[in-house]
Amino acid sequence: MLLNAKPIVERKMNELRMRVEKLVEKPKLVIIRVGNDFASGKYVNNKVKRCDEAGILSEIVHFPEDVESSVVESKILELNQDPETTALLLQLPLPKHLDEDYLTSLIVAEKDVDGFTTLNMGKLVLGQEGNVACTPYGIIELLKAYDIAIEGKDVLIINRSNIVGKPLAHLFLKENATVTVAHSKTRNLEQKVWDADIVVTAVGKANMFSELHFSPYTTIVDVSINFDENGKMCGDVTKSDYDRLVEKHCNITPVPGGVGQMTVSSLIEQAIRIKERE
């Protein structure tokens, strides 16, 4: 089965609109963007579009590529104190002269809509309520929407980043899955892929996996956004193998149309949740 996110996101956006209507004040999401990275621009525009659909306010603070770190730092500290700013995010990646970890750490935990700060990551590890990284949260929501069992399943996550792999591992543990995190130094990766019930791949290598890598009835979550030799968007799993995967009773998230859409809707939901907590 193709795990298409579109119907899930449309239903979620309708629910979010109703939640916003119940609030006395609309939430406001502020996005800090640095430079003119093409992909970042598309992501930011999509976030603003979804904010409009949900009925929440949004603002983009756009700095030039060569902005000094102190300028970005001052803006973050200002927005931390701004009562009208409900949620704040620093669009990544940043130009190389800026320290992503340091600047992200300046965002006050309550407004950290990406869930990247030390406090929110720590709360996730300890099982406490906090803001959760949006891509991992969206993945769990997508699996649940399609009634894919997680409890007791063997899950393989091929990524150990702070944005995807690490927070996702803890979310799967919360759902009582047995989790293995793989990376570039992992041995016997192909066997681990074959043995897993759920495989999450976020390697960033076009066509790294074919249908031959997966055993029947595997659920495959393809997080990566790559471009093939023809400039077409694709994931880590060969797109032409989708039909063969479905024939062997596998589930797979398509690229595009899968995890990316869930990430944005999860971001909007988290901004609303922050407002509801106030």
Give the strand pairing for 251-252 and 219-222.
Answer: parallel
Picking from 115, 118, 146, 121, the residue whose alpha carbon sits closest to that of residue 1 is 146
Percent of all residues in the chain with a pLDDT value above 70, rounded to a whole number: 100
The CATH number assigned to the domain with range 24-111 reads: 3.40.50.10860
Q: How confident is the model at residue 136 (pLDDT cuts 50, 70, 90)?
A: very high
Q: Give 29's pLDDT tier (boundaries 50, 70, 90).
A: very high
Tell me the residue type at 245: L
Is-catalytic flag, 91? yes
Do 24-111 and 134-260 show the same overall fold?
yes
The CATH classification number of 134-260 equals 3.40.50.720
- Only one residue has tokens 């904010």, namely 51
Mean pLDDT over 257-278 rounds to 94
pLDDT tier for residue 245 given thresholds of 50, 70 and 90 = very high
Question: What mean pLDDT comes out for the span 234-253?
Answer: 96
List the catalytic residue out of 112, 114, 222, 241: 114
Catalytic residue among 47, 75, 111, 166: 47
pLDDT in tens, 30-88: 999 999 988 788 889 999 999 999 999 999 999 999 999 999 999 999 999 999 999 99
Single pTM value for the model: 0.93
Domain ranges of the chain: 24-111, 134-260
37 is catalytic: no
- Choose, from 28, 75, 91, 112, the residue flagged as catalytic: 91
Residue 102: exposure state from Cβ atoms within 10 A (0-12, 13-18, ≥19): exposed
Residue 229 above 90 pLDDT? Answer: no
pLDDT of 130 higher than 90: yes
Active site annotation includes 128: no
Q: Please report, as a single letter, which amino acid is at residue 217.
A: Y
